[in-house]
Chains A and B, each alone.
Chain A
Amino acid sequence: MKPEKTISIVLVGLAVVYLAIRVSSGEMATVYVQPLDVGEAPAQASDYIAGTAFPSPSRTVGVWVAALFTLFIFSFLYRDNVFYKFAESVVIGVSAAYWMVVAFWTTIIPNLLGKLSPAWVRSWAMPGLSPEREDTWYLYVIPLVLSVLLLWRLAPKGAWIARWPLAFIIGTTAGLKLVGFIHADFLGQIRASIIPVIAMSADSFDFWQTAKNLVLIASILACLVYFFFSIEHRGVVGKVARSGIWILMITFGAAFGYTVMGRIALLAIRIEFLLDDWLWLIDPTAKRIGLS
Protein backbone atom coordinates (compact mmCIF):
# COMPACT_ATOMS: atom_id res chain seq x y z
CA MET A 1 0.00 0.00 0.00
CA LYS A 2 1.25 3.48 -0.90
CA PRO A 3 2.25 5.68 2.07
CA GLU A 4 -0.18 8.34 0.87
CA LYS A 5 -3.08 5.89 1.03
CA THR A 6 -2.00 4.65 4.46
CA ILE A 7 -1.85 8.18 5.84
CA SER A 8 -5.28 8.97 4.36
CA ILE A 9 -6.84 5.87 5.93
CA VAL A 10 -5.27 6.63 9.32
CA LEU A 11 -6.45 10.26 9.24
CA VAL A 12 -10.01 9.34 8.20
CA GLY A 13 -10.05 6.57 10.85
CA LEU A 14 -8.97 8.99 13.57
CA ALA A 15 -11.62 11.50 12.45
CA VAL A 16 -14.34 8.83 12.55
CA VAL A 17 -13.30 7.73 16.07
CA TYR A 18 -13.27 11.35 17.24
CA LEU A 19 -16.72 12.01 15.77
CA ALA A 20 -18.09 8.79 17.28
CA ILE A 21 -16.90 9.85 20.75
CA ARG A 22 -18.41 13.35 20.34
CA VAL A 23 -21.72 12.00 19.04
CA SER A 24 -22.02 9.41 21.79
CA SER A 25 -21.53 12.13 24.41
CA GLY A 26 -24.17 14.31 22.68
CA GLU A 27 -21.77 17.21 22.32
CA MET A 28 -22.13 18.10 18.68
CA ALA A 29 -24.44 18.95 15.79
CA THR A 30 -27.75 18.82 17.65
CA VAL A 31 -30.40 21.27 16.46
CA TYR A 32 -33.23 22.31 18.77
CA VAL A 33 -36.73 23.40 17.77
CA GLN A 34 -39.76 24.80 19.53
CA PRO A 35 -43.22 23.45 18.74
CA LEU A 36 -45.66 25.97 17.27
CA ASP A 37 -49.40 25.76 16.59
CA VAL A 38 -48.46 24.83 13.04
CA GLY A 39 -45.03 23.24 12.58
CA GLU A 40 -41.94 24.18 14.56
CA ALA A 41 -39.40 27.00 14.82
CA PRO A 42 -35.63 27.01 15.43
CA ALA A 43 -34.72 27.33 19.11
CA GLN A 44 -31.64 27.93 21.24
CA ALA A 45 -30.00 25.58 23.69
CA SER A 46 -31.32 27.78 26.49
CA ASP A 47 -34.87 26.90 25.36
CA TYR A 48 -33.95 23.23 25.52
CA ILE A 49 -32.59 23.64 29.05
CA ALA A 50 -35.78 25.50 30.02
CA GLY A 51 -37.78 22.57 28.68
CA THR A 52 -39.55 24.51 25.91
CA ALA A 53 -37.57 23.01 23.02
CA PHE A 54 -36.51 19.55 21.92
CA PRO A 55 -33.83 18.11 19.61
CA SER A 56 -34.93 17.84 15.98
CA PRO A 57 -33.61 14.66 14.30
CA SER A 58 -34.39 15.91 10.77
CA ARG A 59 -32.62 19.25 11.26
CA THR A 60 -29.69 17.51 12.97
CA VAL A 61 -29.32 15.22 9.95
CA GLY A 62 -29.41 18.41 7.84
CA VAL A 63 -26.36 19.77 9.70
CA TRP A 64 -24.52 16.48 9.17
CA VAL A 65 -25.33 16.44 5.46
CA ALA A 66 -24.20 20.08 5.09
CA ALA A 67 -20.96 19.36 6.99
CA LEU A 68 -20.11 16.22 5.02
CA PHE A 69 -20.86 17.92 1.69
CA THR A 70 -18.63 20.84 2.71
CA LEU A 71 -15.80 18.40 3.39
CA PHE A 72 -16.49 16.54 0.13
CA ILE A 73 -16.14 19.79 -1.83
CA PHE A 74 -13.04 20.82 0.12
CA SER A 75 -11.46 17.45 -0.73
CA PHE A 76 -11.03 18.68 -4.32
CA LEU A 77 -8.24 20.95 -3.07
CA TYR A 78 -6.18 17.83 -2.51
CA ARG A 79 -7.20 15.95 -5.63
CA ASP A 80 -10.22 15.16 -7.78
CA ASN A 81 -12.01 12.23 -6.14
CA VAL A 82 -15.25 10.31 -5.97
CA PHE A 83 -16.59 12.23 -2.96
CA TYR A 84 -16.17 15.55 -4.75
CA LYS A 85 -17.83 14.20 -7.90
CA PHE A 86 -20.73 12.84 -5.83
CA ALA A 87 -21.26 16.20 -4.08
CA GLU A 88 -20.96 18.09 -7.37
CA SER A 89 -23.56 15.87 -9.05
CA VAL A 90 -25.98 16.20 -6.16
CA VAL A 91 -25.65 20.00 -6.17
CA ILE A 92 -26.31 20.17 -9.93
CA GLY A 93 -29.30 17.82 -9.72
CA VAL A 94 -30.85 19.53 -6.72
CA SER A 95 -30.33 22.99 -8.28
CA ALA A 96 -32.02 21.95 -11.54
CA ALA A 97 -34.99 20.46 -9.71
CA TYR A 98 -35.24 23.44 -7.37
CA TRP A 99 -35.31 25.91 -10.26
CA MET A 100 -38.01 23.91 -12.04
CA VAL A 101 -40.22 23.88 -8.95
CA VAL A 102 -39.59 27.57 -8.26
CA ALA A 103 -40.40 28.53 -11.85
CA PHE A 104 -43.63 26.50 -11.73
CA TRP A 105 -44.91 27.98 -8.46
CA THR A 106 -43.70 31.55 -8.92
CA THR A 107 -44.14 32.09 -12.65
CA ILE A 108 -46.52 29.64 -14.31
CA ILE A 109 -49.09 29.49 -11.48
CA PRO A 110 -49.36 33.17 -10.39
CA ASN A 111 -48.25 34.99 -13.55
CA LEU A 112 -49.96 32.86 -16.19
CA LEU A 113 -52.70 30.58 -14.83
CA GLY A 114 -53.47 33.04 -12.03
CA LYS A 115 -54.14 35.74 -14.62
CA LEU A 116 -56.09 33.57 -17.05
CA SER A 117 -58.23 31.81 -14.45
CA PRO A 118 -57.78 33.40 -11.01
CA ALA A 119 -60.82 31.77 -9.40
CA TRP A 120 -59.59 28.31 -10.29
CA VAL A 121 -56.04 29.01 -9.07
CA ARG A 122 -57.44 30.54 -5.89
CA SER A 123 -59.41 27.36 -5.19
CA TRP A 124 -56.38 25.09 -5.00
CA ALA A 125 -53.11 27.07 -4.98
CA MET A 126 -53.34 30.73 -3.91
CA PRO A 127 -56.15 31.35 -1.38
CA GLY A 128 -55.19 35.04 -1.07
CA LEU A 129 -55.60 35.68 -4.80
CA SER A 130 -58.51 37.87 -5.91
CA PRO A 131 -60.98 35.74 -7.97
CA GLU A 132 -61.73 38.66 -10.32
CA ARG A 133 -60.02 38.69 -13.70
CA GLU A 134 -58.12 41.79 -14.77
CA ASP A 135 -59.67 43.83 -17.59
CA THR A 136 -56.90 42.81 -19.97
CA TRP A 137 -56.68 39.16 -18.89
CA TYR A 138 -56.89 37.92 -22.48
CA LEU A 139 -53.47 39.40 -23.22
CA TYR A 140 -51.96 36.56 -21.18
CA VAL A 141 -52.98 34.15 -23.92
CA ILE A 142 -50.02 35.56 -25.89
CA PRO A 143 -47.33 34.32 -23.44
CA LEU A 144 -49.22 31.00 -23.22
CA VAL A 145 -49.00 30.59 -26.99
CA LEU A 146 -45.34 31.69 -26.99
CA SER A 147 -44.58 29.13 -24.27
CA VAL A 148 -46.11 26.35 -26.34
CA LEU A 149 -44.13 27.50 -29.36
CA LEU A 150 -40.93 27.53 -27.30
CA LEU A 151 -41.51 23.93 -26.20
CA TRP A 152 -42.10 22.94 -29.82
CA ARG A 153 -38.34 22.46 -30.23
CA LEU A 154 -38.76 19.18 -28.34
CA ALA A 155 -41.10 17.90 -31.06
CA PRO A 156 -39.63 15.69 -33.81
CA LYS A 157 -40.79 18.12 -36.53
CA GLY A 158 -41.04 21.89 -36.74
CA ALA A 159 -38.33 22.73 -34.21
CA TRP A 160 -37.79 25.99 -36.11
CA ILE A 161 -41.07 27.29 -34.64
CA ALA A 162 -39.24 27.78 -31.32
CA ARG A 163 -37.22 30.55 -32.97
CA TRP A 164 -40.20 32.90 -32.94
CA PRO A 165 -40.66 33.08 -29.17
CA LEU A 166 -36.86 33.10 -28.82
CA ALA A 167 -36.72 36.14 -31.11
CA PHE A 168 -39.37 37.80 -28.96
CA ILE A 169 -37.34 37.10 -25.77
CA ILE A 170 -34.10 38.38 -27.31
CA GLY A 171 -35.77 41.47 -28.72
CA THR A 172 -37.53 42.50 -25.52
CA THR A 173 -34.48 41.74 -23.35
CA ALA A 174 -32.19 43.74 -25.65
CA GLY A 175 -34.61 46.67 -25.64
CA LEU A 176 -34.97 46.63 -21.88
CA LYS A 177 -31.22 46.37 -21.27
CA LEU A 178 -30.38 49.00 -23.88
CA VAL A 179 -32.47 51.65 -22.20
CA GLY A 180 -31.06 50.81 -18.77
CA PHE A 181 -27.44 50.91 -19.88
CA ILE A 182 -27.76 54.06 -21.99
CA HIS A 183 -29.55 55.91 -19.21
CA ALA A 184 -27.67 54.73 -16.11
CA ASP A 185 -24.23 53.80 -17.43
CA PHE A 186 -23.57 55.81 -20.57
CA LEU A 187 -25.36 59.13 -19.95
CA GLY A 188 -25.26 58.79 -16.16
CA GLN A 189 -21.51 58.24 -16.08
CA ILE A 190 -20.81 61.08 -18.51
CA ARG A 191 -22.85 63.35 -16.28
CA ALA A 192 -21.01 62.10 -13.17
CA SER A 193 -17.67 62.84 -14.86
CA ILE A 194 -18.49 66.50 -15.48
CA ILE A 195 -17.07 67.88 -12.25
CA PRO A 196 -15.30 71.13 -11.33
CA VAL A 197 -11.54 71.08 -11.86
CA ILE A 198 -11.16 73.58 -9.04
CA ALA A 199 -13.35 72.59 -6.11
CA MET A 200 -14.56 75.12 -3.57
CA SER A 201 -16.12 74.47 -0.19
CA ALA A 202 -17.68 77.29 1.84
CA ASP A 203 -16.07 79.95 -0.40
CA SER A 204 -12.60 78.55 0.13
CA PHE A 205 -10.34 76.44 -2.05
CA ASP A 206 -10.70 72.71 -1.27
CA PHE A 207 -7.31 71.22 -2.12
CA TRP A 208 -8.11 67.53 -1.55
CA GLN A 209 -11.40 67.62 -3.46
CA THR A 210 -9.62 69.41 -6.30
CA ALA A 211 -6.90 66.75 -6.30
CA LYS A 212 -9.53 63.99 -6.33
CA ASN A 213 -11.40 65.60 -9.22
CA LEU A 214 -8.20 66.08 -11.22
CA VAL A 215 -7.14 62.45 -10.72
CA LEU A 216 -10.63 61.32 -11.75
CA ILE A 217 -10.68 63.41 -14.93
CA ALA A 218 -7.09 62.53 -15.87
CA SER A 219 -7.79 58.81 -15.31
CA ILE A 220 -10.90 58.85 -17.49
CA LEU A 221 -9.11 60.65 -20.30
CA ALA A 222 -6.05 58.37 -20.11
CA CYS A 223 -8.21 55.21 -20.22
CA LEU A 224 -10.26 56.58 -23.12
CA VAL A 225 -7.06 57.35 -25.06
CA TYR A 226 -5.84 53.78 -24.46
CA PHE A 227 -9.02 52.42 -26.09
CA PHE A 228 -8.82 54.90 -28.99
CA PHE A 229 -7.16 52.91 -31.78
CA SER A 230 -7.70 55.29 -34.71
CA ILE A 231 -4.41 57.04 -33.88
CA GLU A 232 -1.18 55.13 -33.48
CA HIS A 233 -0.06 55.01 -29.82
CA ARG A 234 3.22 56.92 -30.29
CA GLY A 235 4.62 60.12 -28.83
CA VAL A 236 2.32 62.00 -26.43
CA VAL A 237 -0.66 59.78 -27.31
CA GLY A 238 1.44 56.71 -26.56
CA LYS A 239 2.52 58.04 -23.16
CA VAL A 240 -1.04 58.94 -22.21
CA ALA A 241 -2.25 55.52 -23.38
CA ARG A 242 0.49 53.88 -21.31
CA SER A 243 -0.64 55.75 -18.22
CA GLY A 244 -4.15 54.53 -19.08
CA ILE A 245 -2.86 50.95 -18.89
CA TRP A 246 -1.43 51.67 -15.42
CA ILE A 247 -4.75 53.07 -14.26
CA LEU A 248 -6.56 50.01 -15.61
CA MET A 249 -4.06 47.75 -13.83
CA ILE A 250 -4.66 49.56 -10.54
CA THR A 251 -8.39 49.08 -11.07
CA PHE A 252 -7.94 45.37 -11.78
CA GLY A 253 -5.76 45.09 -8.66
CA ALA A 254 -8.47 46.70 -6.52
CA ALA A 255 -11.06 44.36 -8.04
CA PHE A 256 -8.79 41.38 -7.33
CA GLY A 257 -8.35 42.50 -3.72
CA TYR A 258 -12.10 42.70 -3.27
CA THR A 259 -12.50 39.28 -4.89
CA VAL A 260 -9.96 37.80 -2.49
CA MET A 261 -11.87 39.33 0.41
CA GLY A 262 -15.12 37.82 -0.86
CA ARG A 263 -13.64 34.36 -1.34
CA ILE A 264 -11.95 34.37 2.06
CA ALA A 265 -15.26 35.37 3.62
CA LEU A 266 -16.90 32.35 1.97
CA LEU A 267 -14.13 30.05 3.22
CA ALA A 268 -14.36 31.54 6.71
CA ILE A 269 -18.11 31.03 6.96
CA ARG A 270 -17.83 27.37 5.93
CA ILE A 271 -15.06 26.75 8.47
CA GLU A 272 -17.08 28.61 11.09
CA PHE A 273 -20.06 26.40 10.27
CA LEU A 274 -17.96 23.26 10.72
CA LEU A 275 -16.45 24.43 14.02
CA ASP A 276 -19.61 26.00 15.42
CA ASP A 277 -22.80 24.30 14.19
CA TRP A 278 -21.29 20.89 13.51
CA LEU A 279 -18.40 20.23 15.93
CA TRP A 280 -19.42 22.69 18.68
CA LEU A 281 -15.76 23.64 19.18
CA ILE A 282 -16.58 27.34 19.25
CA ASP A 283 -19.66 29.31 20.27
CA PRO A 284 -19.17 32.84 18.87
CA THR A 285 -22.79 33.93 19.31
CA ALA A 286 -23.20 32.32 22.75
CA LYS A 287 -26.11 30.15 21.62
CA ARG A 288 -25.16 27.08 23.66
CA ILE A 289 -24.62 28.70 27.04
CA GLY A 290 -25.73 26.32 29.79
CA LEU A 291 -25.09 23.12 27.85
CA SER A 292 -22.48 20.99 29.55
Chain B
Amino acid sequence: MYHFLSTLDRRWIFLLMGAAVTIPILLELQFPEEATSLAHAVFNEIEQLEEGDPVLLAFDYDPASEGELGPMATAFVRHCCEKKLKIYFIALWPVGPQMIDDSINRVIKTDFPDMVYGEDYVNLGFKPGNEGVIKVIVTDLKQLYSTDDRGTDLDQIPMCRDLVNIQSMDLVAEVSAGYPGVKEWVQYAATPYPDQIRLVAGCTGVGAPLLYPYMPEQLKGLLGAIKGAAEYEKLVVDRYDREAGREPDLKYLEGKRRMGPQLVAHILMVVLIVVGNIVFFVGRSREGTNS
Protein backbone atom coordinates (compact mmCIF):
# COMPACT_ATOMS: atom_id res chain seq x y z
CA MET B 1 0.00 0.00 0.00
CA TYR B 2 2.81 2.39 0.95
CA HIS B 3 4.64 1.65 -2.31
CA PHE B 4 1.43 2.16 -4.30
CA LEU B 5 0.68 5.54 -2.66
CA SER B 6 4.26 6.82 -2.76
CA THR B 7 4.59 6.09 -6.49
CA LEU B 8 1.04 7.06 -7.49
CA ASP B 9 0.92 8.96 -10.78
CA ARG B 10 -0.33 12.49 -10.11
CA ARG B 11 -2.78 12.17 -13.02
CA TRP B 12 -4.89 9.85 -10.88
CA ILE B 13 -5.20 12.75 -8.42
CA PHE B 14 -6.32 15.02 -11.27
CA LEU B 15 -8.88 12.42 -12.31
CA LEU B 16 -10.16 12.09 -8.73
CA MET B 17 -10.50 15.87 -8.41
CA GLY B 18 -12.31 16.02 -11.75
CA ALA B 19 -14.75 13.36 -10.56
CA ALA B 20 -15.19 15.11 -7.20
CA VAL B 21 -16.28 18.25 -9.04
CA THR B 22 -18.21 16.66 -11.94
CA ILE B 23 -20.35 14.18 -10.01
CA PRO B 24 -21.92 16.77 -7.64
CA ILE B 25 -22.66 18.99 -10.66
CA LEU B 26 -24.34 16.10 -12.50
CA LEU B 27 -26.31 15.10 -9.39
CA GLU B 28 -27.00 18.79 -8.59
CA LEU B 29 -25.89 18.27 -4.99
CA GLN B 30 -26.64 21.26 -2.77
CA PHE B 31 -26.12 21.90 0.91
CA PRO B 32 -27.69 24.44 3.29
CA GLU B 33 -25.83 27.72 3.81
CA GLU B 34 -25.63 29.83 6.95
CA ALA B 35 -24.60 33.46 6.57
CA THR B 36 -21.58 34.59 8.57
CA SER B 37 -21.07 38.04 10.07
CA LEU B 38 -19.13 39.17 6.99
CA ALA B 39 -22.06 38.45 4.66
CA HIS B 40 -24.46 40.03 7.17
CA ALA B 41 -22.30 43.17 7.20
CA VAL B 42 -22.52 43.50 3.40
CA PHE B 43 -26.26 42.78 3.40
CA ASN B 44 -26.96 45.29 6.18
CA GLU B 45 -24.98 48.06 4.47
CA ILE B 46 -27.31 47.88 1.46
CA GLU B 47 -30.41 47.07 3.49
CA GLN B 48 -30.10 50.23 5.60
CA LEU B 49 -30.21 52.51 2.51
CA GLU B 50 -33.40 54.35 1.56
CA GLU B 51 -35.25 54.31 -1.75
CA GLY B 52 -33.51 56.56 -4.29
CA ASP B 53 -30.13 56.57 -2.54
CA PRO B 54 -27.21 56.48 -5.00
CA VAL B 55 -24.87 53.47 -5.00
CA LEU B 56 -21.81 52.80 -7.10
CA LEU B 57 -21.37 49.22 -8.32
CA ALA B 58 -17.84 48.66 -9.58
CA PHE B 59 -17.40 45.42 -11.54
CA ASP B 60 -13.71 44.75 -11.95
CA TYR B 61 -13.54 41.19 -13.18
CA ASP B 62 -13.49 39.26 -16.43
CA PRO B 63 -14.90 36.02 -17.89
CA ALA B 64 -12.05 34.03 -16.30
CA SER B 65 -13.38 34.82 -12.82
CA GLU B 66 -17.05 35.11 -13.77
CA GLY B 67 -17.82 31.72 -12.29
CA GLU B 68 -16.62 32.86 -8.88
CA LEU B 69 -17.79 36.48 -8.93
CA GLY B 70 -20.82 36.43 -11.25
CA PRO B 71 -23.22 35.12 -8.56
CA MET B 72 -22.31 37.86 -6.07
CA ALA B 73 -22.52 40.53 -8.80
CA THR B 74 -26.00 39.26 -9.67
CA ALA B 75 -26.99 39.33 -5.99
CA PHE B 76 -25.62 42.88 -5.56
CA VAL B 77 -27.64 44.16 -8.54
CA ARG B 78 -30.78 42.38 -7.44
CA HIS B 79 -30.49 43.68 -3.87
CA CYS B 80 -30.05 47.27 -5.11
CA CYS B 81 -33.02 46.90 -7.46
CA GLU B 82 -35.23 45.50 -4.69
CA LYS B 83 -34.28 48.50 -2.52
CA LYS B 84 -35.05 50.84 -5.47
CA LEU B 85 -31.63 52.47 -5.28
CA LYS B 86 -30.07 54.60 -8.02
CA ILE B 87 -27.35 52.39 -9.49
CA TYR B 88 -24.19 53.73 -11.11
CA PHE B 89 -22.13 51.00 -12.79
CA ILE B 90 -18.42 51.48 -13.37
CA ALA B 91 -15.46 49.31 -14.43
CA LEU B 92 -11.70 49.58 -14.22
CA TRP B 93 -11.18 46.37 -16.20
CA PRO B 94 -11.60 46.50 -20.00
CA VAL B 95 -14.11 43.66 -20.06
CA GLY B 96 -15.95 45.01 -17.02
CA PRO B 97 -18.64 46.70 -19.18
CA GLN B 98 -19.54 43.30 -20.65
CA MET B 99 -19.92 41.91 -17.14
CA ILE B 100 -22.10 44.93 -16.29
CA ASP B 101 -24.23 44.40 -19.41
CA ASP B 102 -24.60 40.75 -18.50
CA SER B 103 -25.87 41.65 -15.01
CA ILE B 104 -28.22 44.29 -16.42
CA ASN B 105 -29.67 41.78 -18.89
CA ARG B 106 -29.95 39.00 -16.31
CA VAL B 107 -31.48 41.05 -13.51
CA ILE B 108 -32.75 44.51 -14.43
CA LYS B 109 -34.18 43.92 -17.90
CA THR B 110 -35.67 40.56 -16.94
CA ASP B 111 -37.03 41.09 -13.43
CA PHE B 112 -37.19 44.89 -13.07
CA PRO B 113 -38.37 46.07 -16.50
CA ASP B 114 -39.86 49.26 -15.02
CA MET B 115 -36.40 50.60 -14.21
CA VAL B 116 -35.42 53.27 -16.72
CA TYR B 117 -31.89 53.68 -18.05
CA GLY B 118 -30.56 57.10 -17.12
CA GLU B 119 -33.10 57.59 -14.33
CA ASP B 120 -32.73 54.45 -12.21
CA TYR B 121 -29.42 53.03 -13.44
CA VAL B 122 -26.57 54.05 -15.67
CA ASN B 123 -23.52 52.29 -17.03
CA LEU B 124 -20.52 54.64 -16.95
CA GLY B 125 -18.36 51.96 -18.57
CA PHE B 126 -14.63 51.33 -18.49
CA LYS B 127 -11.90 53.88 -17.92
CA PRO B 128 -8.21 53.01 -18.21
CA GLY B 129 -5.83 54.24 -15.55
CA ASN B 130 -6.33 51.76 -12.69
CA GLU B 131 -6.06 53.46 -9.29
CA GLY B 132 -5.46 56.78 -11.07
CA VAL B 133 -9.13 56.73 -12.08
CA ILE B 134 -10.25 56.24 -8.47
CA LYS B 135 -7.93 59.01 -7.31
CA VAL B 136 -9.56 61.43 -9.77
CA ILE B 137 -13.24 60.48 -9.49
CA VAL B 138 -13.32 60.72 -5.69
CA THR B 139 -13.06 64.49 -6.20
CA ASP B 140 -14.13 65.15 -9.81
CA LEU B 141 -15.97 62.44 -11.72
CA LYS B 142 -16.61 64.45 -14.87
CA GLN B 143 -12.93 65.15 -15.36
CA LEU B 144 -12.67 61.56 -16.60
CA TYR B 145 -16.25 60.62 -17.42
CA SER B 146 -17.72 62.92 -20.04
CA THR B 147 -20.00 60.24 -21.52
CA ASP B 148 -21.58 56.98 -20.38
CA ASP B 149 -20.77 53.59 -21.90
CA ARG B 150 -23.13 54.28 -24.83
CA GLY B 151 -21.41 57.56 -25.64
CA THR B 152 -24.20 59.79 -24.29
CA ASP B 153 -23.08 63.07 -22.73
CA LEU B 154 -23.43 62.77 -18.93
CA ASP B 155 -25.15 66.17 -18.77
CA GLN B 156 -27.98 64.69 -20.85
CA ILE B 157 -28.50 61.79 -18.42
CA PRO B 158 -30.90 62.84 -15.60
CA MET B 159 -29.23 60.86 -12.80
CA CYS B 160 -25.74 62.10 -13.80
CA ARG B 161 -26.50 65.76 -14.39
CA ASP B 162 -25.74 66.88 -10.83
CA LEU B 163 -23.19 64.20 -10.08
CA VAL B 164 -19.91 65.78 -8.95
CA ASN B 165 -17.88 62.90 -7.53
CA ILE B 166 -18.30 59.53 -5.88
CA GLN B 167 -18.31 61.03 -2.40
CA SER B 168 -21.98 61.69 -3.08
CA MET B 169 -22.61 57.91 -3.27
CA ASP B 170 -24.17 56.42 -0.16
CA LEU B 171 -22.34 53.16 -0.77
CA VAL B 172 -19.65 51.77 -3.05
CA ALA B 173 -19.89 48.04 -3.77
CA GLU B 174 -16.87 46.59 -5.54
CA VAL B 175 -16.65 43.13 -7.14
CA SER B 176 -13.03 42.45 -7.91
CA ALA B 177 -10.84 39.70 -9.33
CA GLY B 178 -7.49 41.37 -8.69
CA TYR B 179 -5.70 44.55 -9.73
CA PRO B 180 -7.15 47.12 -9.88
CA GLY B 181 -9.73 46.13 -7.35
CA VAL B 182 -10.76 46.22 -3.72
CA LYS B 183 -7.31 47.14 -2.42
CA GLU B 184 -7.12 50.20 -4.68
CA TRP B 185 -10.65 51.29 -3.67
CA VAL B 186 -9.59 50.99 -0.03
CA GLN B 187 -6.36 52.90 -0.61
CA TYR B 188 -7.66 55.76 -2.74
CA ALA B 189 -11.34 56.07 -1.80
CA ALA B 190 -12.37 54.55 1.53
CA THR B 191 -9.25 55.45 3.54
CA PRO B 192 -8.82 59.11 2.52
CA TYR B 193 -12.58 59.77 2.84
CA PRO B 194 -13.73 57.57 5.74
CA ASP B 195 -16.76 59.73 6.57
CA GLN B 196 -17.97 60.11 2.97
CA ILE B 197 -17.31 56.75 1.33
CA ARG B 198 -18.56 53.44 2.72
CA LEU B 199 -17.11 50.47 0.88
CA VAL B 200 -18.27 46.83 0.72
CA ALA B 201 -16.71 44.27 -1.57
CA GLY B 202 -16.75 40.83 -3.07
CA CYS B 203 -13.54 39.19 -4.21
CA THR B 204 -12.01 35.94 -5.39
CA GLY B 205 -10.72 33.37 -2.91
CA VAL B 206 -7.12 34.18 -3.80
CA GLY B 207 -7.61 37.83 -2.86
CA ALA B 208 -9.73 37.46 0.27
CA PRO B 209 -6.98 36.83 2.91
CA LEU B 210 -5.20 40.04 1.88
CA LEU B 211 -8.34 42.09 2.46
CA TYR B 212 -9.41 40.89 5.91
CA PRO B 213 -7.07 43.36 7.71
CA TYR B 214 -9.10 46.25 6.25
CA MET B 215 -12.23 45.15 8.08
CA PRO B 216 -14.20 46.76 9.62
CA GLU B 217 -12.65 50.24 9.57
CA GLN B 218 -11.72 50.65 5.90
CA LEU B 219 -13.98 47.96 4.48
CA LYS B 220 -17.47 47.58 5.92
CA GLY B 221 -18.17 44.09 4.59
CA LEU B 222 -16.47 41.42 2.48
CA LEU B 223 -17.75 38.46 0.47
CA GLY B 224 -14.91 35.98 0.00
CA ALA B 225 -15.14 33.74 -3.06
CA ILE B 226 -18.11 31.55 -3.95
CA LYS B 227 -18.80 30.82 -0.28
CA GLY B 228 -19.33 34.51 0.44
CA ALA B 229 -21.56 34.75 -2.64
CA ALA B 230 -23.68 31.80 -1.48
CA GLU B 231 -24.14 33.35 1.99
CA TYR B 232 -25.10 36.75 0.60
CA GLU B 233 -27.44 35.13 -1.91
CA LYS B 234 -29.20 33.36 0.94
CA LEU B 235 -29.76 36.61 2.83
CA VAL B 236 -31.16 38.35 -0.26
CA VAL B 237 -33.35 35.41 -1.25
CA ASP B 238 -34.66 34.93 2.31
CA ARG B 239 -35.54 38.62 2.56
CA TYR B 240 -37.12 39.18 -0.84
CA ASP B 241 -38.44 35.76 -1.89
CA ARG B 242 -39.00 33.46 1.08
CA GLU B 243 -40.52 36.22 3.28
CA ALA B 244 -42.90 36.92 0.40
CA GLY B 245 -43.76 33.22 0.25
CA ARG B 246 -42.39 32.55 -3.24
CA GLU B 247 -39.65 30.31 -4.56
CA PRO B 248 -36.57 32.19 -5.80
CA ASP B 249 -35.53 32.21 -9.43
CA LEU B 250 -32.74 29.66 -9.92
CA LYS B 251 -30.37 32.32 -11.27
CA TYR B 252 -30.33 33.88 -7.80
CA LEU B 253 -29.05 30.61 -6.28
CA GLU B 254 -25.96 30.08 -8.43
CA GLY B 255 -23.55 30.56 -5.54
CA LYS B 256 -25.35 27.97 -3.44
CA ARG B 257 -25.40 25.56 -6.36
CA ARG B 258 -21.66 25.96 -6.92
CA MET B 259 -20.95 25.20 -3.26
CA GLY B 260 -21.96 21.54 -3.86
CA PRO B 261 -18.84 20.61 -5.85
CA GLN B 262 -16.81 22.81 -3.48
CA LEU B 263 -17.75 20.71 -0.48
CA VAL B 264 -16.96 17.37 -2.11
CA ALA B 265 -13.70 18.67 -3.61
CA HIS B 266 -12.63 20.12 -0.26
CA ILE B 267 -13.30 16.79 1.48
CA LEU B 268 -11.15 15.09 -1.16
CA MET B 269 -8.46 17.73 -0.63
CA VAL B 270 -8.43 17.13 3.13
CA VAL B 271 -8.21 13.35 2.58
CA LEU B 272 -5.34 13.83 0.12
CA ILE B 273 -3.44 16.07 2.55
CA VAL B 274 -3.89 13.56 5.39
CA VAL B 275 -2.88 10.59 3.20
CA GLY B 276 0.06 12.54 1.77
CA ASN B 277 1.34 13.34 5.26
CA ILE B 278 0.92 9.74 6.42
CA VAL B 279 2.90 8.53 3.39
CA PHE B 280 5.57 11.16 4.10
CA PHE B 281 5.99 10.23 7.78
CA VAL B 282 5.88 6.49 7.10
CA GLY B 283 8.55 6.97 4.43
CA ARG B 284 10.72 8.99 6.80
CA SER B 285 10.42 6.44 9.59
CA ARG B 286 11.34 3.64 7.15
CA GLU B 287 14.37 5.60 5.96
CA GLY B 288 15.38 6.07 9.61
CA THR B 289 15.00 2.35 10.31
CA ASN B 290 17.04 1.39 7.23
CA SER B 291 19.84 3.83 8.05
Contact = CB atoms under 8 A, between A and B. Distances in A.
Contacts of A127: 151
A98 B94 CA distance: 10
B185 to A, nearest CB: 10
Interface string A51-93: 0000000000000000000000000011000000000000000
A3 interface: no
A192 interface: yes
A123 interface: no
B68 A269 contact: yes
Interface string B216-258: 0110000011110000000000000000000000110010011
B146 interface: yes
A90 B213 CA distance: 39
Contacts of A281: 26
A103 interface: yes
A264 B21 contact: yes
Given A261-B266, A265-B205, A78 B153 contact: no
B261 A264 contact: yes
Most B C-beta atoms less than 10 A away, residue of A98, A183, A184: A184
B191 A183 contact: yes
B186 interface: yes
B4 interface: no
14 contacts: A106-B127, A127-B151, A180-B131, A180-B191, A192-B218, A258-B205, A260-B205, A261-B225, A265-B262, A267-B18, A269-B66, A270-B67, A271-B22, A285-B251
The 8 closest A-B pairs by CB, nearest first: A269-B67, A262-B205, A180-B187, A128-B151, A184-B191, A258-B205, A184-B187, A255-B209
Interface of A: 41-42, 77-78, 98-99, 102-103, 106-107, 110-111, 126-130, 176-177, 180-181, 183-185, 188-189, 191-192, 251, 254-255, 258-272, 275, 281-282, 284-286
Interface of B: 11, 14, 17-18, 21-22, 25-26, 28, 64-68, 94, 105, 126-128, 131-132, 135, 146-148, 150-153, 184, 186-188, 190-192, 204-206, 208-210, 213-214, 217-218, 224-227, 250-251, 254, 257-258, 261-262, 265-266, 269
